[in-house]
């Protein structure tokens, strides 16, 4: 049996990166494949939100033809 790669999470409560045995799931983002990716979780969320907000296929606020 192969060992699974470690997972990293960003804790929204403590603003720190933690492993699988950290805070409860509702208080964290992830899993992320690397510690560095988890450190940048909030930036990733912001980038995705902006992308989705500006996606013409999903923008409910766009004027209709």
pLDDT in tens, 5-51: 889 999 999 999 999 999 999 999 999 999 999 999 999 999 999 99
Residue 63 lies in a domain: no
Residue 13 lies in a domain: yes
State the pTM of this model.
0.76
Cα(60)–Cα(10) distance, rounded to whole angstroms? 30
pLDDT score recorded for residue 2: 43
Residue 48 lies in a domain: yes
Number of domains in the chain: 1
Question: Is the Cα torsion angle 41, 47, 50, 51 positive or negative in sign?
Answer: negative
Alpha carbon 30 to its chain centroid, in Å, reads 5
């Amino acid at each position: 049996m192969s060992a699974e790669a470690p997972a990293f999470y960003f804790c929204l409560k403590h603003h720190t990166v933690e492993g699988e045995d950290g805070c409860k799931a509702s208080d964290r983002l992830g899993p992320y494949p690397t510690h560095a990716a988890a450190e940048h979780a909030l930036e990733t969320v912001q980038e995705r939100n902006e992308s989705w907000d500006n996606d013409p296929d999903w923008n409910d606020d766009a004027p209709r033809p």
